[in-house]
Amino acid sequence: MFPSFASRLASGVTARLRRATPTAFATSPAAPRLPLKIGIAWSGRRAQFTIANVVDTEGVANASTRRNATAAANAVAGSDAVDAMDASNARDLNDMADGSDAPRPFDKRAIPLDMLMPLFALPHVEWHVMQTDIEAADRDVLAQLLQTHPVVHRSLAFKDFGDTANALAELDHLVSIDTSVAHLAGAMARPVTLLLPLAADWRWSACDAVTGASAWYPSVQPVRQRYRGDWSGPVQQAAEIVMGLVGSALKAASSPSASPVSAVSRKRR
């Protein structure tokens, strides 16, 4: 049931993205070049905005607003079950439905950026920020990273999901929490390491018994907290996965078949 539904959902998203951004689905090179270009997204919170104009007197989002948001999302995903694309949309709206645009605590999916420092310290990796909404505390950390580490603030140029899709197509991998960027990458069959809280959305419990890959998106590899609120385990697992990719790229780069000189020598023979 789950893989069948996921296949239909991903097909609907992919078909629409192919029409809108055909270059995003070009074939990726077989042997990635170093440094690896890896995207990263760590927060599921949307950018802050004033919601007073869509909230009734009791602080509950108007039903018409919810219906309009759902209809728009359905038009993108091509499915009535659009909540599978990002089940947290309603939660985010409810969390902000008291009319205030003040910063809110991140929900359980999000990771403070400074907890991801072990990833930024990995060699042979260029990190591409896919996060469009960044809290004040994380902005300070990101500003420092941009000066001291190989980090590209890719999302500054994003205007819509077409831009995000094009960027994902150019990356070798994505490390992300459970947010829309991860769902988009999964629908595009791009490789993703998905960082999950202990009590993650129930859909991520459907995984391949052998590979551990998501039944919704086979290219997505979930890694889950062992203890509530402790991100050290998932971050360490993500670092090991990334270093495995780096090792494979180094091996491919050093093999005789990867050398232009060797290729010319074989041709002459």
pLDDT of residue 193: 98
**What is the largest distance, in Å, between two alpha-carbon atoms of the chain?**
82
**Where do we find the tokens 């029409």?**
19
Q: Can you give the CATH number for the domain in which 117 is found?
A: 3.40.50.2000
Residue 81: partners with Cβ closer than 8 Å, 6 or more residues away:
5, 9
How many C-alpha atoms does 267 have within 13 Å on its Cβ side?
7
Residue 267 lies in a domain: no
My answer on whether 117 and 19 are in the same domain is yes
Same domain, 115 and 196: yes
pLDDT score for 258: 57
- How far is the C-alpha of 68 from the C-alpha of 77, rounded, in Å? 14
151, 22: one domain: yes
228 and 146 housed in the same domain: yes
Residues 64 and 192 in one domain: no
Q: Are residues 38 and 59 in the same domain?
A: no
152-161, long-range: CB within 8 Å, 24+ apart, which pairs? 152/126, 152/127, 152/128, 153/129, 154/39, 154/128, 154/129, 154/130, 155/129, 155/130, 155/131, 158/132, 161/17, 161/76
Phi, psi torsion values for 179, nearest 5 degrees:
-145, 180
Kindly give the confidence (pLDDT) of every residue in the chain, 269 residues in length, as a single tens digit, with 9 standing for 90 and above.
445 555 555 566 566 666 655 655 554 445 678 999 999 999 855 434 333 333 333 344 445 444 444 444 444 444 333 343 344 444 444 443 343 444 455 478 999 999 999 999 999 999 999 999 898 889 999 999 999 999 999 999 999 999 999 999 999 999 999 999 999 999 999 999 999 999 998 888 888 878 889 998 999 999 999 999 999 999 999 999 999 999 999 999 887 765 544 444 444 44
Q: For residue 192, is it within any domain?
A: yes
Tell me which residue range forms the domain holding 88.
52-95
Question: What is residue 66's predicted lDDT score, i.e. its pLDDT?
Answer: 45
Q: Of 35, 68, 95, which residue constitutes the final position of a domain?
A: 95
Number of domains within the chain: 2
In a domain, 164, yes or no: yes
Kindly state whether residues 163 and 86 are assigned to the same domain. no
Rounded-to-integer distance, Cα 60 and Cα 98, Å: 7
Regarding whether 211 and 244 lie in a shared domain, the answer is yes
17 and 135 housed in the same domain? yes
Last residue of a domain, one of 35, 62, 95: 95
